[in-house]
Chains A and B, each alone.
Chain A
Amino acid sequence: MIKIKNLCRNWGNFSISGVNLEVKTGEFFGLFGHNGAGKTLLLETIAGIWYPDKGEIFIDSKDMTLLPPEKRNIGFVYQEPWLFPHLSVRENICFGLRVRKRKKKEIERRIEELNVILKLDSVLLRKNTGLLSGGEKQKVALARVLATNPGIIFCDEPTHSLDRQAREALYKILSDIRKNFATVIVFVSHDYEELKDLADRIGIMEEGRLVRVDGIIPRF
């Protein structure tokens, strides 16, 4: 669960101000806004990459406002996949686990688990990141985030540069993640229709403010 109270953060001439938000565990929250509305800045501030100027952030009722990002257990998938180019696909996925000094067997097991949802075949795992297609890259980025078993996943327009087929595949994966893991997913997009199909609720941002949150949309 995420709870944000009166969050403010300046960024040069731009600022996000007075954001209040509550997202429940297991919820798929959509965040809508045009370019430059402050969606990414808001997510990065919640993830701990920037400290807020004002306001408080609670995750699972714990005050996380001043904790560094590595202690918040938030996975972040950017618009670009940002796969580490000096590591192979497998090393990219294991990155978070290696940092946590998990044993080899445990890492293997985790990859097997991810395999069920993400369909990571062994050929893909051995490839270099430079040789992947856009959809594959985003899939690996998602796998890298999921490997560490985060309580919250932020997706910052991950479908932005994907074609329709790859988009559909990613939506499928996201809904599978929802079913299999008790995670909060915050999905950012500048396409309202896309969010309408995916999200339970949609928050709308304009010029650094969360203007309104559209209520629960019946899902068919």
Chain B
Amino acid sequence: MAKRIIFAGLLALLHLLLFSWLDAGTNSLLFCADLFFAYCGLLYAKRLKNFRWSIYLAGYFVLFFVFFALSARPLIFILALFLYSSLFHLPKILGYFFIFLFSIIVFTGYWISSLVILSLFYFIILGFIQKQNNMFIFSIFAAGALLLALILLPLINLLFQSSLQTLISTLNQDLRNALAVSFGTAFISTLIIFLFGVPLGFFMARIDFKFKPLVDALIDLPILVPQTAAGIALLVFLGPKTPLGNFFNHFFGINFAGGYLGIIACQIFVSMPFLVRSAISAFESVNPKFENVSRTLGTDPRQTFFKVSLPLALPGIFNGCILSFCRALSESGSLMIVAYRPSTIPIYVYDVFVQYGTKESVPITIMFLIICLWSFVVLKWIYETRRKSILRI
């Protein structure tokens, strides 16, 4: 005990001599931090071997160099030192701490987004590094991570561009209307694609016919066609003063252009491939032997489809529904041409951007992003739980 008191006294003296140029408050805080560091060091010294002990010391000098010597911020150094000393025995959490420091120092302007992304990658690496401890896996992950970062950085950066208050104040009537229109139409178009796309998917997966590759390519066509071109094609096909448009207008009083039906038509056009593709691969992954067994047990083709093929393919199809729904939600290019009003969220965002500029449109875009991401995450979560219960894993 006496030794420790002497040590503390020496440390205090050292601080008085070396850091007398700091103000008294900061200096005493620094003394406390150093004392805490030394105390934790004593605790670790009993448990850790020499090598780890030197890492502990090295960490101190890194922090000191970066925050104290390089950027002259003693208070941040003190804070960092407290965290570092107490977290050293938890290496995983210490990793997050260093990612935090690294983001603040290196990516000063974008520190939140880089913190989120680096932490995410660190989390993933921690998950596989114990099972797969080879450099190749690590390097392919690094390559993929770069691409992911390219997608995530602008989006996450955008999320932190306005305060919560601004965000709440943007939730006005217009935005709420746009939200309702977006979700309503996207839901209906996904439902329609489901009703017609699942049979198409089953057909494509099970039946071989002439020109099958051609039909297969046709399904992907909406992805290849530019959105605006799709909009013009739809407008020329069923807009006002076209034969089909006239027919619907005359007999049913329906106008595709500038109405909900126009929005739904556009959304179906652009998001169809996602669901149909998923349905095809989902049905292809169901072994036809299941269907054969079912047939010999007494089901006709229709019952076989509803009792065996569809339930087994449903998880994959539901995944396609999610993609299709989100694609429909984010459609804008063709809507600008076919149905600008009633405005969906992407159109509303564009509208505000054109009228008021970036500053006004940023909070709305953030709102839109949050809502879209949130619905995507929720749907994915439902998908995962459903998949597990269906396949009884």
Contacts and interface: CB of A to CB of B under 8 A. Distances in A.
A130 B393 contact: yes
Nearest to B392: A128
B390 A96 contact: no
Contacts of B298: 70, 96, 99-100, 148
A150 B307 CA distance: 21
Nearest to B312: A86
B162 interface: no
A69 B390 contact: no
A95 interface: yes
A48 B295 CA distance: 9
A72 B300 CA distance: 12
Interface string A124-153: 000011100000000000001100100000
Nearest to B391: A85
Interface in B302-358: 303, 307-308, 311-312
Contacts of A96: 297-298
B297 A144 contact: yes
Contact of A68 (B287, B295, B311): B295
Contacts of A78: 289, 293
B296 A82 contact: no
A125 to B, nearest CB: 15
Nearest to B288: A49
Given A49-B292, A49-B295, A70-B298, A99 B307 contact: yes
Contacts of A84: 290, 294, 308, 312
Interface residues of A, number: 28
Given A99-B303, A148-B298, A85 B392 contact: yes
A69 to B, nearest CB: 4
- The B interface, classified by DSSP as helix, strand, loop or mixed, is helix
A95 B308 CA distance: 10
Contact of A86 (B292, B300, B301, B391): B391
Nearest to A131: B392
Nearest to A144: B297
A200 interface: no
Contacts of B294: 84, 95
A131 B193 CA distance: 36
Interface string B260-287: 0000000000000000000000000001
A60 B164 CA distance: 78
A76 interface: yes
A6 B290 CA distance: 29
Contacts of A99: 297-299, 303, 307
A70 B299 contact: yes
Nearest to A141: B293
A75 B391 CA distance: 25
B300 A145 contact: no
A27 interface: no
A82 B287 CA distance: 9
B303 A75 contact: no
Contact of A49 (B296, B311, B312, B390): B296
Interface of A: 44, 47-49, 68-70, 72, 74-76, 78, 80, 82, 84-86, 88, 95-96, 99-100, 128-130, 144-145, 148
Interface of B: 287, 289-290, 292-301, 303, 307-308, 311-312, 390-393
12 contacts: A48-B295, A49-B295, A68-B301, A70-B295, A74-B296, A78-B289, A85-B312, A85-B391, A95-B297, A99-B297, A99-B299, A130-B391
